[in-house]
A and B are shown apart, each in its own frame.
Chain A
Amino acid sequence: MDALNGLLYGLSVAFEFHNLGLLLAGCLLGTLVGVLPGLGPVGAISILLPLTFQLPPAGAIIMLAGIYNGAMYGGSTTSILINVPGEAASAVTCLDGYAMARKGRAGTALGIAVFGSFIAGTVGLIGLQLIGGPLSVLALKFGPPEYFAIILMGFTFIVYLAQGSMIKAVLMALAGILLSLIGLDPITSEQRFTFGNIHLFEGLSVVPLAIGLFGLAEVFVNLEKTAPARVLQVKIKNMFPNKSQWLRARWAIVRGTVIGFFMGILPGGGPVLSTFMAYGVEKRVSKHPEKFGHGAIEGVAAPESANNAAASTSFIPLMTLGIPPNVVLAVLFGAFMIHGVTPGPLLMTQHPEIFWGVIASMYMGNVILLILNLPLIPLWVQVLRIPDKILYPLIVLFCLLGAYSVHNSVFDIGVMLLFGMVGYLLNKFDFEPAPLVLGFVLGPLFEVNLRRSLLMSQGSFAIFVERPIALVALIVCVILIILPFIQAIRKTSRPIS
């Protein structure tokens, strides 16, 4: 089945009444989850997974994919209006989105976020539909050295693009890697740092860790403030960006889409990393980098486009190779398996109704979210206007339930609480939690591919420069490491005017 016929077939599946209803429900729930701080798409998908057990596989996956995409759209609302990311992929949007809102441009920020998301999400889907196959063939040629080098490049990017101290970002990423090593060794199955605790045999779960660092820690930080974080009392107007705003944001949307597109495909990339990269690149190429963090529209357009493009393209490795590239897709992988469907190269031929049905429903979901988001923003704003004295305890409750529901385990509540306190301290000590989460998610892949590469090469690091893809990734790493030094030298050698 070619791409066009496949899409037409998929549309016939997605337009079935119950699938349409499930898609709508997924989009609405996802947006609500995205809007509410502390409960991200991972927790939401995990919590709602049991609801889909009675549904046909295609409908179940369509609904869960709708939640994922909805969360990507909804996350920006919270970031822009209360400076708290609704989910991790919207953390970067806080920087300029909130600054725009404080300057009375909340409507424009929300509008450009929605339009950027729609454009990028649609482009990502076109990519998923058209070049998913050829890309998966190329990715199939990746061996451990390539994966190791690409993940190393991801780490280098996150450090290079860190908002604060690069040294602290490196420390966070390394700490994340160490935390990811808790559990059974992936090659020898030996216990590492489990202290005999059965809950640690499978390692720490990323969901309570992320909820703690990004949800609970935010509550702790906000609780101590004498003037708590509030939804800005601004009139949401001018949601349709004007011509000059479009002109300023257009290349940011394009660059964000391209970055998100590729980062979504890479294992360990995904929406969160793509937003950091898109924001960093935008800041670097801007003629006015000093405006970033103070309400630059590009600072909203780029990350919001990137996370939606990445959300779409992250389905490529899952549906063509059977590899979940990020934690949300890992939960979706579980959903596939529960419904008796194995995602991978055979999905397209054995279950075309799922492969094409999900792609078509994501196209439709993008349209639904565009239509829903703009008129419903005032409603989401009302959700956000719940007073702090009610909102924060409710966020804590959602965090508790989100952490608990993943494995129905009180231990995970403890993990969430621990990382809530860690996140609070990181805030006080000027450390960013994002590199830690990245290190945590990429750590196992990083380790396995490094060890496998060394086993393949009999201990020689030359294997990383003998393989062209790995070599290119390493060259990018070296450039990214050298670049700040060159910039620093240029600054110091520049004559004082």
Chain B
Amino acid sequence: MDKRNLISGLFFLGFSAFVAVSSIGLGIGRLTNPQAGFMPFWTSLLIILFCLILFGQTFANRSGSAGRADSWSQVHWHKSMLAAGALCVYMFLLPEIGYLAATSILMLALFKLSSMKILPAALASLLTVILSYALFSFILNTPLPRGMLGF
């Protein structure tokens, strides 16, 4: 049995149940006059229906794909999680300390995460940030966040 189908199906069930309940609050209306909740309500009900079909299929193929869940153990997912974490921190830093400083820190973290040594990583991050700043800020006139440092 492919456990991933059960996990994803449960997620979709919860998600669509939330949407269905919220849609009732918005007002579903009638077929003659559908309201704001009409589309989300029926869409979420369809999701629930297809989740049940997915569960049915998964239980029917109980012996079919037993080994698939092992794909999680064969990957080095900590790198992806660290990159995502770095981006989360970046999102909060960007408006506070501005594009140049925040992106330099982010790029240093990403280069380091890509197994680059500290000095080349620092140089590469500085270079890419300055070049991207020049390209987007001066040439493309994109107003990049300045932050408290003013740049």
Contacts and interface: CB of A to CB of B under 8 A. Distances in A.
Contacts of B46: 170, 174
Interface string A179-190: 001000101101
B75 to A, nearest CB: 5
B84 interface: yes
A178 B114 contact: no
B91 A174 contact: no
Interface in A148-179: 165, 167-168, 170-171, 174-175, 177-178
Interface residue range, chain B: 35 or more
A483 interface: no
What is the interface of chain A mostly: helix, strand, loop, or mixed?
A: helix
B128 A401 contact: no
B12 A171 contact: yes
Given A223-B80, A225-B75, A397-B128, A48 B140 contact: yes
A175 B53 contact: no
A404 B44 CA distance: 31
Interface in A240-297: none
Interface in B11-51: 12, 15-16, 19, 22, 26, 30-40, 43-44, 46-47, 50-51
B71 A413 contact: no
A224 B75 contact: yes
Contacts of A225: 75-76
A224 B79 contact: yes
Given A417-B91, A428-B72, A388 B43 contact: no
Given A178-B19, A389-B116, A431 B79 contact: no
B44 A178 contact: yes
Interface of B: 4-5, 7-8, 12, 15-16, 19, 22, 26, 30-40, 43-44, 46-47, 50-51, 53-54, 57, 71-72, 75-80, 83-84, 87-88, 90-91, 94-95, 103, 106-107, 110-111, 113-116, 124-125, 128, 132, 136, 139-145
B143 A223 contact: no
Given A413-B94, A417-B91, A388 B114 contact: yes
A315 interface: no
A218 to B, nearest CB: 11
A171 B54 contact: yes
A371 to B, nearest CB: 27
B111 A175 contact: no
18 contacts: A167-B53, A174-B46, A188-B35, A190-B35, A192-B26, A192-B37, A220-B83, A224-B79, A390-B124, A393-B110, A393-B124, A401-B136, A401-B142, A413-B87, A413-B94, A417-B84, A450-B39, A455-B32
Contacts of A165: 54, 57
Given A223-B83, A420-B84, A454-B34, A181 B39 contact: yes
B50 A392 contact: no
A393 B91 CA distance: 16
A177 B44 CA distance: 10
B50 A50 contact: no
A451 B38 contact: yes
A405 B36 CA distance: 31
Contacts of A450: 34, 39
A167 B54 contact: yes
Nearest to A425: B8
Nearest to A177: B43
Given A50-B142, A454-B32, 7 more contacts: A165-B54, A171-B51, A171-B54, A181-B40, A220-B80, A392-B110, A405-B142
Nearest to A452: B34
Contacts of A193: 19, 22, 40
Contacts of B77: 224
A232 interface: no
B140 A47 contact: yes
Scoring B71, B83, B106 by chain A CB atoms within 10 A of each residue's CB, the highest score goes to B83
A460 B32 CA distance: 8
B52 to A, nearest CB: 10
Contact of A454 (B31, B54, B80, B110): B31
Scoring B87, B88, B116, B144 by chain A CB atoms within 10 A of each residue's CB, the highest score goes to B87
B12 to A, nearest CB: 6
A391 B94 CA distance: 22
A430 B6 CA distance: 12
Interface residues of A, number: 60
Contacts of A187: 36
A421 interface: yes
A224 B12 contact: no
A447 B29 CA distance: 14
A389 B94 contact: no
A458 B124 CA distance: 64
Given A50-B140, A223-B79, A413-B94, A177 B39 contact: yes
B143 to A, nearest CB: 6
A408 B75 contact: no
A396 interface: yes
Interface in A43-88: 47-48, 50-51
A331 interface: no
A397 B40 contact: no
A224 B80 contact: yes
A417 B88 contact: yes
Contacts of A401: 132, 136, 142
Contacts of B87: 396, 400, 413, 417, 420
B114 A389 contact: yes
Nearest to A439: B43
Contacts of B79: 223-224
Interface in A113-171: 165, 167-168, 170-171
